[in-house]
Structure 1
Amino acid sequence: MARTVIDVAKEVLERKKEALNPNRMYHIANEMGLTKELNLNGKTPWASFVARIYVDIKENSDSIFEVVATKPMLIKLKNQNINLEAQAEKNSVIKEPKTFYNERDLHPLLSRFVSFNENFKAYTKTIYHESSIKTKKGVDKWLYPDIVGVSFEYRDYQKELNKFIGKFNFLPIKIYAFEMKKHLSVGNFREYYFQAVSNSSWANEGYLVALDIDESDEELMDLIKRLSFSFGIGVISLNSQNVDESVILARAKFKEGLDYSVMNELSTKNADFKKFLESVEEFNIEKEYRSKSEFDEVLDNDRLDNYLINKKIMNN
């Protein structure tokens, strides 16, 4: 008989011998290879896993689970003896789920998403901060965005109108800055968000981007909403099952003006950013093949699928 989410969650709790957040349970089960049995298809398999546990606790009077903390929610088996104080001390340093890929491995997913998404239709370029001019340690800690992007308003216009714009009007463009992370949680969100504020607020729009965002975590969703409203940096949830169906959880606030002083510093210290500005300035819609080669490559469906598998990004 096929195992259920409840069966898998029970096994994870028995093996780990500690109270766990349901979202963390899913990632541990995934690492153990237990989620393959569950056929949790869709954009957010972890959300389906978590929802099943929540429903069981709420509606099943004979549930084997017991909630021992709410912020964040921690669950144990009813018959488990767990020293919660010792566990809290042990977990005082937040640990993110282990993955085989790194943050930069996620760049092609973002490049693909913003290339086709109607809200962007942008070209992107990865910024290799390690190649920047070296300065005093710590001075440039939150200066460099992971990825920058640009969209040209005339990209979808007819040739004649593009020429008209080029001759009689200032070319309308929008500059983006993106900060990439693998995992967002209540524990790390504020730090990562203000990192994005620091290295993205010079652009017309700035975004914090991650693959692993627990959209069922109401506290996290409230944080995203409140901080985005206050500081204007948006949040994008990447979807490895279908990159084109990634979600903008919070839209960035558009700023009319660019911060040229920060852009000058970036251009002076980093060759990738300097080249990005040159590519934007020289962009020619009639020679798009040449211009596109100067930005990050956008993978087609087959190559993207192979990439996700090879980098072990695809959710099982």
Structure 2
Amino acid sequence: MTKTWMEAIDARSAAALASGALQPVAAEQTEMEDAGMRFIVRWVSSLAVKDAARAATPAATPAATQVAIPGGPRDPNFNPFLNPDPELTVGPIGTAHVVILNKFPLCERHLVLARRAFEEQLLPLARSDFAALAEIMMEAGGIGLYNGGTAAGASQRHKHVQWMPDTEGNASLRLFAPGLPGDLPEHGVARHPALSMQHCFVRVRCGLGVAVDVAADSLLEGFRRACDTLQLKPGADGLLPPCNLLIHDGWLLMLPRSQECFEGISISAVCFGGTLYTRQREQIESIRRVGPLQALAAVGC
């Protein structure tokens, strides 16, 4: 690339905003504290309006979604990643992926890194998946996200990971830092005392300035270590049980899933980074009633 990734992403975003191809979501938010940790809960009112419009005229928007917020309508026959919208396509990355702007971004620079050839989202992540993420994270840091199947909040079958920048209000693993050992060696495994569901944190090398090959190798080994620790097994349809994965600030977090929703609220990887999203205002009170940690634990194993 002649431009940096962030320059290319910003240029494509500006053009897509001007044309209407990129449609940032509008949200109202509230903050909650649980076990000394700060959580943000957002009511994304703009997508609830889009859901209603889609239900009324389903044929009018055949290519309406990229990766919308959890709980959005899914069309099993529509694949936005095989031939992505040119207005949202930033370009190829690595040997197997393409960088696409999320049509309904939860924040600026919200990216989808999709495989160029179809592969099931449930299948275990490969080194090339981690290499694509590492190339973005080497330049800009940020958080990598993976929803391993519908039960883990995935809205598309075509294999992809997501990336968000490390900015205020975005998902982050830093809220867990006080409960994790600071001196854990690379690929060391830890649990967090505030998380009652099955999970594990693995120390990895990935982020600003870390070479892509080094990061990809470290992430792949961290992923394997997490799978072994949690006894996740590859089956005919992918990893069992389905899982979420987050990569941020030198940590890889993996959580097996038992179901997609807590009281009608779809939970995906981004929610385990401290930002939960609802499609109805009253669902905020469902989370407040039990607390964010209990809502997250309810969809775990």
Higher relative contact order (CA 8 A, sep 6+): 2
Structure of larger gyration radius: 1
Structure with a larger share of its residues in helix: 1
Q: Which structure: greater strand fraction?
A: 2
